[in-house]
Chain A
Amino acid sequence: MRPDLTALRDQIRAIETQDRPTLACLPTGALGLDQALGGGLALGGVTELVPAAFMDEAANLHFALACLAGALKQRPGDLVVIEDASRGHNSWGRLYGPGLQKLGLCAGRILIVRAPDVKSFHACLEDAARTIGLAGILAMAGPKAGFGLAGARRVQLAAEQAHSLVLLVQGLRTPAFAPARARLVVASRPCRPVALGTALPGLGPPAWRLQLERTRHGARPQSFDLEYDDATHSLYQPATLADRSSEPHYRFG
């Protein structure tokens, strides 16, 4: 390689990294997932959540809300929810206060923004990501709300500046968000039923199967089974179902 090109690359790298804050993480409570993500959900970056199938879109949003309940517990400030109203989110329903409270999301700390079109959705997300002192940002994108490379980069830089926690909940067909710190594919999973003595058993804690598709620091793709505890408002890996073969950290000897 030509030496001047190498020098130029070094220069660009120095410009790119000099103002970057050291990247922090927010633990989700599920140890295996946190380790694979490099400590937890990225602060100062966008984490992309993708449904595994069309019918998993509700589960995907459910999981995002569960993650944000942890963020509200650990960080001060409010949660800003940005909906792309053109996404036809009516298919799954709108956020419902009592149900959010059950998950640990207090309605008093949630600001809901309904962007009428894709353009204003992008602008709102960038504006919110730049705002200092928010506990988290939940962006619900529709199928047409894919970011261009420049737009995605702007959101990413804004989030880096303000140390924002941005969860981008994608539709099944939304194009990927290129600079995302991690991309998780969420699928619903049957819960562990509770015996009630009735014909049908009762509902256990909500459960998901996560596929870690890629991370910025290059952890290998792996999957996790997670559950959510309504009482402590935290995610955990149920011990009996943990897939130990894919969890080298838990092996002894």
Chain B
Amino acid sequence: MARSAGGIRLIALNRAAQATGLSAGMMLAGAKALVPDLCVADSDPAGEAADLMALARWAMRWSPYCAPAKGLEATHALFLDVTGCAHLFGGEAAMLADMVTRMRALGLTARAACAATPGAAYGLARFAPEAHQGLSAPDGPALRALVGTLPVEALRLPGGTTSGLRALGLKQISHVAAQSSAALARRFGIDLVRALDRVRGLEEEAIDPVAEIIPRRIRLRLAEPLMTRQGLELAAAKAAGEICALLDDQQEGARRLVLSLYRVDGIVLSVTGGAGQAHRDAMLWNRVLCERIEALANGAGLDLGFGIDLVDVAAPVVERLTGQVMDLDPAAAAALASADALHRLADRLSARLGAGRVTRTEAIAHWVPERAVRQVPVAERKPQANQFPAALAARRPALLLERAEPIDAIAEVPDGPPRLFRWRSLAFRVACAEGPERIACGDVSDDTQDRDYYRIETVEGRRFWLYRQGLPGQVDHPRWYVHGSAA
């Protein structure tokens, strides 16, 4: 049920409710009067969309081009482009039967149809009589004749347009098609004409698939569902071996592998392994995938449910990789081997800890100290620059606090270095100081004041990087912060 202009209305009904004579669009009060023990729940469009998206991912077992129908919100339909896929399932009719059976096994009521365009397939699946269900529709004029008998709701247009057509007595698609398209466009807008062409198989409609198009992919269909971690790791090893053989044939290497595990009950688990450098070493990929499976098991939990019946390994990012020639110069060969070893270490650690935890520092030309560096995950890209200006580096500490911490300081007025300060309830006496280095942070930082930085050393030999916020002329009582140590 959902709130609407007149009050709370029913949106959708299950079979039992339909049998009692209720219908969607009824007021809740009226429905309750007819069926006093009616169970109702609030409608959840976002949840429905998410469920449909999950179903679309699961339906990729039949075709990679798969998407929820766009347009009206409550169409509850999936479009699949099965060009070149149907023969794998024994023809279009057998494929449709397979879809309906599997959806029914998930507890869903499904109707499927296959036609030249998504629009026609939608109309036939939703509104054609039972006799036409599960058949692949003809092409050309025969399709137009078949679609002509469907009601105008099959056009997938907003409710206002549909009821407008009905008010004019145009109840079937053939009635609408008999009118001149110019008149229809004038009266109802160009969308009606396009919808008409789509449903009659005259205009194509693009399917925006839920998954990116994968250049290389391996699928293992399993006779018996996998129930154990060991079985899963064996399957991952086999899939990694097969995809590496495929990559070897194509002289390519993968930067990323996505392992998707299709559960019997329609849920897809997916793990991604990355590499800093494209390669096709099956053993390494297997290790990375197993690390990711373990990370999943340790983190969110690996719930295999009633088992995995399809294992899919996809290589979304591939690069050209021809065989490597061994270097005969021992020094060069050793350097190559050690660079390789480092790459592998970085890949393994990225897989185990997550890409964001294995990083390199990138230098950024920015004068605010905390913005002059960025940590770049090695699995994602190489840092663009790693050299800092030498004159600047000479005045920077080796350790920088993530947030500068306020301190109580006693300093020479108006603009001398601090002599005494208290940080984390410990007192420090300054013995040496260098500065100030004035950094204008006014334009970029939240705090609008410039900073005077000092490198100082305490009498015990501890080194800090302090700053005064606010220049002597600007504020009466400048505040002091510690921003780094080991200066």
Interface set of A (CB-CB < 8 Å, partner B): 55-56, 58-59, 61-62, 65, 76-78, 80, 85, 90, 92-103, 106-108, 110-116, 120, 123-124, 127-128, 131-134, 188-191, 193-194, 196, 198-204, 206-208, 230
Measured between alpha carbons, how far is A62 from B349 in the docked complex, in Å?
A: 25
Q: A196: which B residues are within 8 A, CB to CB?
A: 434
The residue among B337, B353, B383, B486 with the most chain A CB atoms within 10 A of its own CB is: B486
Q: Is the CB of A99 within 8 A of B486?
A: yes
Which B residues from 191 to 250 make CB contacts under 8 A with A?
A: none
Q: A93-B402, A94-B399, A99-B393 are in contact. Are A77 and B486 (CB under 8 A)?
A: no
A-B contact pairs, 6 of them (CB 8 A): A55-B460, A62-B399, A96-B373, A124-B353, A127-B348, A133-B335
Asked whether, in the complex, the Cβ of A99 is within 8 Å of the Cβ of B397, the reply is yes
Contact mask for chain B residues 357-378; partner A; CB cutoff 8 A; 1 contact, 0 none: 1111111000001001101001
Inter-chain CA distance A191–B394, complex, in Å, is 17
| A190→B486 contact, CB < 8 A | no
B contact residues, range: 35 or more
State which residues 390-418 of B face A: CB under 8 Å: 390, 392-394, 396-402, 412, 416-417
- The prevalent SS among residues of B at the interface is mixed
Please determine whether A90 and B402 come into contact, CB atoms closer than 8 angstroms: yes
Q: Does B33 contact A (CB under 8 A)?
A: no
In the complex, A82→B372 CA distance in Å?
Answer: 22
List B contacts of A204 (CB < 8 A). 432
User: For the complex, is B352 an interface residue (Cβ under 8 Å from A)?
Assistant: yes
Q: How far is the CA of A61 from the CA of B484 in the complex (A)?
A: 13
CB closest chain-A residue, reference B484: A93
> Which of A85, A102, A133, A198 contacts B337 (CB under 8 A)?
A133
Interface string of B314-356 (1 = CB under 8 A from A): 0000000000000000000011011101101110110011000
Tell which of A59, A101, A128, A193 touches B486, judged by Cβ atoms closer than 8 Å: A59
Query: B432 to A193, Cβ gap below 8 A?
Result: yes
For B251, the chain A residues whose CB sits under 8 A away are none
The interface residues of chain B lying within 8 Å CB-to-CB of A202 are: 432-434
Inter-chain CA distance A189–B462, complex, in Å, is 7
Interface string of B416-427 (1 = CB under 8 A from A): 110100000010
CA distance A193 to B346 in the complex (A): 42
**Among candidates B348, B430, B463, residue contacting A206 with C-beta atoms closer than 8 Å:** B463
Knowing that A96-B396, A97-B388, A107-B373 are A-B contacts, what are 8 other residue pairs whose CB atoms are under 8 Å apart, sorted by A's residue number? A96-B398, A98-B369, A108-B360, A114-B358, A132-B341, A201-B431, A202-B432, A203-B487
Seen from chain B, the residues whose Cβ lies within 8 Å of a Cβ on chain A are: 334-335, 337-339, 341-342, 344-346, 348-349, 352-353, 357-363, 369, 372-373, 375, 378, 383, 386-388, 390, 392-394, 396-402, 412, 416-417, 419, 426, 430-434, 455-457, 459-463, 484-487
Asked if B396 and A133 sit within 8 Å, CB to CB, the answer is no
**B contact residues around A77 at 8 Å (CB):** 338, 342
Q: How far is the CA of A208 from the CA of B463 in the complex (A)?
A: 11
CA of A102 to CA of B388, assembled, Å: 9
Contact A124 B349 (CB under 8 A): yes
Given A114-B353, A127-B348, answer yes or no on A99-B400 (Cβ-Cβ < 8 Å): yes
Q: Compute how far the CA of A65 lies from the CA of B432 in the bound complex, rounded to whole angstroms.
A: 22
CA distance A103 to B463 in the complex (A): 14
A201 CB to closest chain B CB (Å) equals 5
- When chains A and B are docked, how far (Å) is the Cα of A76 from the Cα of B334? 10
A-B pairs, top 3 by smallest CB distance, nearest first, are: A133-B338, A93-B399, A108-B386
Known contacts A131-B345, A189-B461, A200-B430; decide if A113 and B400 are in contact (CB<8 Å).
no
Which of A102, A106, A204 neighbours the largest number of chain B CB atoms within 10 Å of its CB?
A: A102
The answer on a CB contact under 8 Å between A127 and B349 is yes
Instruction: Find out whether the CB atom of A92 lies under 8 angstroms from the CB atom of B485.
Output: yes
Complex CA gap A133/B363 in Å reads 25
Choose one: B361, B363, B375, B485; the contact of A58 (CB below 8 Å). B485
Find out whether the CB atom of A113 lies under 8 angstroms from the CB atom of B432. no
CB distance from A234 to the nearest CB of B (A): 16
Q: Which residue of A lies closest to B417 (CB)?
A: A200
Inter-chain CA distance A27–B392, complex, in Å, is 30
Q: Which residues of the partner chain A approach B457 to less than 8 Å between Cβ atoms?
A: 190-191, 203
Q: Given known contacts A132-B337, A206-B463, is B399 in contact with A96 (CB within 8 Å)?
A: yes
User: In the complex, what residues of B have CB within 8 A of residue A92's CB?
Assistant: 399, 401, 485-486
In the complex, the answer to whether A99 meets B484 with C-beta atoms within 8 Å is: yes
Q: In the complex, what's the smallest C-beta–C-beta distance from B420 to chain A, in angstroms?
A: 12
Task: Please report the C-alpha to C-alpha distance between residue A95 and residue B375 in the assembled complex, in whole angstroms.
Answer: 11
Q: Which residues of B contact A107 (CB under 8 A)?
A: 360-363, 373, 383, 386-388
B462 and A59 contacting across the interface, CB-CB below 8 Å: yes
Q: How far is the CA of A83 from the CA of B462 in the complex (A)?
A: 22
Q: Which residues of B are found within 8 Å of A124, using beta-carbon distances?
A: 349, 352-353
- Give the nearest-CB partner of A58 in chain B: B485
For A85, the closest partner residue in chain B by CB is B357
Contact of B345 (CB < 8 Å), options: A59, A128, A194, A199: A128
Q: Which residues of B lie under 8 Å from residue A97 when comparing CB positions?
A: 361, 363, 372-373, 386, 388
Q: Give the residues in chain A near B387, CB-CB below 8 Å.
A: 101, 106-108
Complex-state Cα separation, A77 to B392, whole angstroms: 26
Asked whether A112 lies within 8 Å of B341 as measured between CB atoms, the reply is no
Contact assessment for B461 and A191 in the assembled complex, using a CB-CB cutoff below 8 Å = yes
Q: Is the CB of B349 within 8 A of A93?
A: no
Contacts of A128 in B (CB 8 A): 345, 349
Nearest CB in chain B: distance from A137 CB, A:
10
Nearest CB to that of B457 among chain A residues?
Answer: A203
A115 touches B432 (CB 8 A): no
Contact B462 A58 (CB under 8 A): yes
Contacts of B456 in A (CB 8 A): 203
Across-interface contacts of B388 in A (CB, < 8 A): 97-98, 101, 107
B358: chain A residues at CB < 8 Å are 111-114
Measured between beta carbons, the chain B residues less than 8 angstroms from A132 are 337-338, 341
